[in-house]
Structure 1
């Protein structure tokens, strides 16, 4: 076993993950080649294409035509987007011969021909193609018969009058079955689930015979029935039941009927990956052979305990639900994830899966898929994203993707480039290094601007007015994604997910481990770790069984139930120097039902012994966690201020440590950062320009504008880097705030003079204008103005912090209104200098100004909201009458024009 002391000698970190019999800190069998920091620096300037963000490409209907497919693919490439995931969804328009518009039925020859064309076009242009193995989500459709549809266990209570000798059984429909029936004294809902007696009589003529009694009684019938859930947002001819994810028969049918047919469109060039969206199979908690599988796996018959499972409140009920939940996880792992992944391998592609939600997949279920994917930017609380990245770190997946910008700044078209960056940074802080944008709506030719949009998502296509800065936005995202793939993760802390407690908390119809974790992993726990200067992964008992505990510190958050086997592994980890911190309590219950009393005694004994040792301790509440961590291992970063809003991610390279640092707030943070990395040289890498600047050794002065991010690298060897340039503002060369000429291409009002900064919505003639306005101005400079100036910049001023709009309930956003609304491209003397779309709103002019007259052009783009606010909302009555209401536009009522243009002063400054 290869172990090394941490630099401070206060903890241990494995350099990988091999399974050893002791189950403690271990190494990974898949060795990664050392990453040389100098080569990383060179690639940072021009990062590889595979790190570019991708887009979910919604094909509405799908009503697509090849010329537009080609145009949009080329637009994606021009915008710095590396590829797309084809997602056929609900129709947006009715077939119309007069407009030459037709929705192509899902899986029809015409549809597959369009998929083939899109794939071939992407391949010719060096772009990645992923394919969703369904239309909408979750998997399902018209090919799913009722006996392969998702199922649930339902309890039907029937009152029995005193003296009655029979009870009328519930009607059993197609795809349903009577599992068992129980009787107890009581009436209505007043009966004891723990004291019910199972009835063995068969139902005959709709009745079940009973022995008469003078007391009122209750019979509870347990019926396996379909959930009735339909595929969400399905394309034409793709609607139908959601399949049973616990049934291998149902999954194989889907793979044969849908997936095999989709692959015919790709010929000998399969997609890079096939995709499954988040598991949202609501209420699904049963499958026809569950009782047989339960007895085979758990060793006892669940049927006699169904009343306690369904509505019991005792410890026994929790143990039963635990065993039931574990069985459901095993079934979905074996019958859904494994066969889909095996199918993908057989078809020379990869399975990209959002492995969270309903039904009860676990963190370690991600080990069964090639490409784990997360969702959710909640870096300071439990998130499905950290769930996925943690699994990748533990099981050796170098790339973790995330569905990014879902619900971003609702409604559609409201999101800005700054919104994109602010949320993407939160994903980076959680370890994501491949962004899948949500998304790119296909728009047919002839549709009025700004084109179509998904019902609940932002729009990132070239119909968006601020598209001109998209290449700059995507280059930033590409650089950071590339960097976060280098080396290996260096998180110090693992939080043990209390899966056993979550299983015990399951209720019929609600069987989601990831949803339970939102209750068990509190924001206070996460904040206590992050604010103390550490980054964190999750781990579960299955991962500990497979790979040990490859972190210096393991936290047990209010864990009650834990198996003796897991406790023994944790004890061995502690004996070899690992630090264990329990929050609130120590484990003291058996997880499951069999031999619960003896197992509970063993759990208590093992737990007591573990926390009597010198490497394990208990803190009563989350607020004591930071101090306990700092006793266990030196903080990775210590900030003099701003630790509650500044996040970081640390990657370890050969001979270097790389830190991505981001201010996630709408106010500036001025702090001194002390990094644990102890190397000879330090440098700052600009993720917007690719330029590297040297830093002085010692603590780093961090002056972070709102939503600003930095890359700090510590290395054993000096890196080629220009001399560091101060960001302090110096003398003002010229005030350029006044006297701009403004043109509005595409507007009836083509030009006017702007005497002072103002929104163009103040003018009735451009109130509803969405697009690009061109600001031009000439400035004459003398040789004295330029003398001695090392760096001249345009400074547009600071943004204005804003509060969350209580009327907007969906989506995240950057809570900052910039001095430019929303993005600008600046040219000097006919040369494009760069763009301005994020704080600090300053642009280095790169020595392009000269003595004499200089021509400055600033192209300002706003959002499409202004244009949408000036027209009536779309009318979908006939569409919904034909196909049903498959979507409801989000937050599209009461739109108002938004301020647009240059709203503050513009100054030409010399930087010190």
Structure 2
């Protein structure tokens, strides 16, 4: 690829790499004209596809207003989805669908038998010898799935005394009706004993905030028959009615299950997979069983993990393929091997949650998904992006979105899905924003400028979807420790891993220049097939014996192994625990004797020091590693690096690319302009490049044998500066406002503009004298600087659009647009939506009537509308409007 081809690719990125957006429909109360309008708006904004998610209603049926809520899986529901899919296809846009109504998967057709159980222990202390019985009617509620009796020694149950007494827990009858539960008389031996009953409640989780007709129990994520029951009723009819092939991706949102910690097929599967009966040892899932707690908990959690990967994640992808579609899945929230769970999808999807417009590794929601994509060779790894980017809503700027997108890219994501676009007929009063969204749709003040971000995302993803990732460091996931140490729980593996590894440790590795993947046993068992040359074991205790054997082989073949804090020294599970543990310790000692592993004092400074001793960083960011990051890909002929400065400061930086010595070019994918280089030095250690990087600027470096080295350019120096800070006129016809500012100040301070959200036009005429022109006309670059901007600005000079400024630095290149004598400058400035939304006079109309068709849902509908649509939270949290317009210094600077 030569420079001209890079330029062509930047200017004409592939349409399939465009960003997508989640598209919320409330109550399926949509009409065809509005569907067409919103798809046209999205296409114009260069959004490449939609992910439809149909949720709870927010308005009552109203024929006069044209509001009709369609029931889940009704003919109207199918008709609207089919129409939207056809209209998206007609515009060359991809059409995806979230299965179910809301999330997690479930519905009214799911029986209690197939739903996700929630089990809790109930304990009784008994001192023997005695004969014991107990009426538990009204004391416990639910089905007893297991009961055990055991002698206690201190706080531990003695395993040799444990007895399964489940058969002694029976129904208590009232007039021949089963009314409660009782423990039949049993013999208690001498000593202090504990009886433990595990009780499965029929109060199980239901689908969250569904469409009418979609309410019901959620599936058991461990059971194939449960998933297939859901797909039979909530998946197959969609394909049959919409048409095979019209839905590209079927999407599964995050696994937000609460209390689901059991499955009714557990005992049989546990026996088959682990080789012994769980029932006698069940107390270990909650309390301490002497010498066996971790082994039994491990076997339980591993069994649950295997079942969910096989019976939910892989089975869902299998169904998608049967329907001529692919799967796109968010796996965070599950308890299984997290890489296997993400890797089961055709497109693993991460998420960016909260104020993540900063440079840091996001283990919980992103890097695990990315690692799974790399490990299981998934070329596209997507991301639900900008969820709760700021709280409360309506305060997110385009600068925030651009910075958050860069953070996502630096974690290895190469496909963006916006969160998102809310169906809304109205742009002002009556708009229906999503409660957790960044509100990237036509109702936002800056929507007309979002295209700038959309095109940028398209360009970056085009490059990041080429070739393959370059990663040579693997961080082994301590999943076995988490399974061994976690009691009965709906284990959130991603969060547990993040807590155990610690963000400070992970970020230090990454920002030292070592881009890494998380790896699991699948990788280590097949390490020859991967390109990792360094393996980090971070405070791992438990490890399977066959994995430890593979680590030994990896080290013997020259791989670097560093164990932070300690080397693993325990096996996993109850069977063969002692024998396997002895062999694991033997291998560990052998590795240390042969010098094939280094054990560091901790996972912080000493780990980084050892890494630097044995391995040169892939990329070195010399001066600002806390805010500047990179990601690398390679094709057959090119090395591609994406570099981003996620800070509001312009910086001088030196970057060393340690694996490349060829010619290269570097461009800003936001502007498609080639970046100036200050200095280049090629050594045996790689290519060192010095350059200036603007605030929130990203760069694409493309290295290729056939390219020349860029010619270094000297830093521009300021020759002349013209102060334009005084004498501006602000005109906002919408508010019948016009004012001349001797000293610029933000417009929300004007009483009539305090709660105004929209655009204002600033205008100014000024004269460039003959002497000023002699200096200015000879400058190679002329820049308009603004000290403060709230939040975007179109810059017009003498009637010509020079630039649109949406982020720091607040400046625009106006070279060639000025002349001697009279000149004019106009700035069309747009502020944030929050100012209008906190206006005390902004109306919020709550439907107060009973809906005849939905008498049971009226209260819930009103609560949804009040909690999820209205702006009371914004008014509580934001007491004063955000600064708007321009203020401070404005000047023109000429540089040579």
TM-score (norm 2): 0.90
1:151-183 per-position Cα deviation (integer Å, ceiling 9, x unaligned): 133212245688554222457999x54322223
Matched, 1:201 2:168: yes
Equivalent position of 2:102 in the other structure: 136
Taking the TM superposition and a 5 Å limit, the aligned residue runs for 1:314-393 are 314-376=290-352, 377=356, 379-380=360-361, 382-393=363-374
Specify which of 721, 732, 752 is matched with residue 720 of structure 2. 732
Deviates more, 1:513-522 or 1:37-46: 37-46
Partner of 1:221: 197
- After superposing the two structures, state which structure 1 stretch, 545-554 or 65-74, moved more: 545-554
**In 1, Cα distance between equivalents of 2:575 and 2:553:** 26
1:192 counterpart residue number? 157
Distance in 2, matches of 1:610 and 1:319, equals 25
Maintained 8 Å contact 1:682/1:697: no
Deviation at 1:866, TM superposition (A): 0.8
Q: How does 1:21-60 map to 2 (within 5 A)?
A: 39-60=5-26
2:211 aligns with 235
Structure-1 residue corresponding to 2:696: 707
Per-residue Cα deviation, 1:75-112 (whole angstroms, up to 9, x for no partner) = 11111211111011122222233322222222211121
Q: Deviation of residue 204 (structure 1)? A: 5.0
Choose the corresponding residue for 2:457, options 467, 471, 477. 477
Instruction: Name 1:800's counterpart in structure 2.
Output: none
Matched, 1:823 2:798: no
User: Structure 1 residues 177 and 406, CA, compared in 2 at 3 Å: closer, same or farther?
Assistant: same
Match of 1:210 in 2: 185
Partner of 1:406: 387
Give 1:185-584 correspondences, 5 Å limit.
Answer: 192=157, 194=159, 195-199=161-165, 200-201=167-168, 203=170, 205=172, 206-211=181-186, 218-226=194-202, 228-312=204-288, 314-376=290-352, 377=356, 379-380=360-361, 382-445=363-426, 448-449=428-429, 451-546=431-526, 548=528, 549-584=530-565
Describe the superposition over 1:648-669 as per-residue Cα deviations: whole angstroms up to 9, x where unpaired: 1122233432222222334444
Q: How many angstroms does 1:407 deviate by?
A: 0.7
Secondary structure in 2 matching 1:465: coil
Root mean square deviation, CA, Å: 2.7
> How many residue pairs are counted as aligned between the two chains?
852
Contact 1:227 1:283 in 2 (8 A): no
Q: Residues 883 and 141 from structure 1, CA distance in 2 versus in 1: closer, same or farther, beyond 3 angstroms? A: farther
- Structure 1: where are the runs of 5+ without partners? 1-34, 798-818
Report the 3-state secondary structure (helix = DSSP H, G, I; strand = E; otherwise coil) of the residue aligned with 2:495: helix
Cα distance between partner residues in 2 of 1:729 and 1:108: 68
2:807 is matched with: 838
Preserved CA contact (<8 Å) 2:663 2:709: no
* 2:761 aligned partner: 774
CA contact (8 A) 1:45 1:689 kept: no
Secondary structure, in 3 states, of the residue corresponding to 1:685? strand
SS of the residue corresponding to residue 386 of structure 1 reads helix
Mapped partners of 2:32, 2:722: distance in 1? 52
Say which of 880, 888, 895 aligns to 1:904: 888
Give the Å deviation of 1:684.
Answer: 2.0
CA contact under 8 A between 1:794 and 1:845: conserved in structure 2?
yes
2:661 is aligned, of 673, 679, 682, to: 679
Residue of structure 1 aligned with 2:643, choices 627, 646, 661: 661
Distance 1:414 1:306 in 2: 50
Post-superposition Cα deviations, 1:261-280, rounded to whole Å, max 9, x if no partner, equal 22234325421211000111
- What is the aligned partner in structure 1 of residue 684 from structure 2? none
Partner deviation per Cα, 1:623-674 (whole Å, 9 max, x = no partner): 1122211222211222332222321112223343222222233444433222
2:786 to 780, 796, 804: 796
The 1:54–1:114 alpha-carbon spacing in structure 2 relative to 1, beyond 3 Å, is same
In structure 2, the residue corresponding to 1:384 is in which secondary structure? Answer: helix
Partner of 2:777: 787
Distance (whole Å) between structure 2 residues aligned to residue 630 and residue 395 of structure 1: 28
Aligned-residue offset at 1:591: 1.1
**Cα displacement (A) at 1:252:** 0.7
Q: How far apart in 1 are the matches of 2:5 and 2:430?
A: 42
Contact kept? 1:62, 1:236, Cα under 8 Å: no
SS in 2 for 1:753: strand
The alpha-carbon deviation at position 411 of structure 1 amounts to 1.5
Find the counterpart in structure 2 of residue 756 from structure 1. Answer: 743
Q: Contact between 2:785 and 2:812, CA under 8 Å: does it hold in 1?
A: yes
* Higher share in strand: 2
State the SS of the aligned residue for 1:330: helix
Q: Secondary structure at the match of 2:487?
A: coil
**Structure 1 residue 363 displacement after superposition:** 0.9
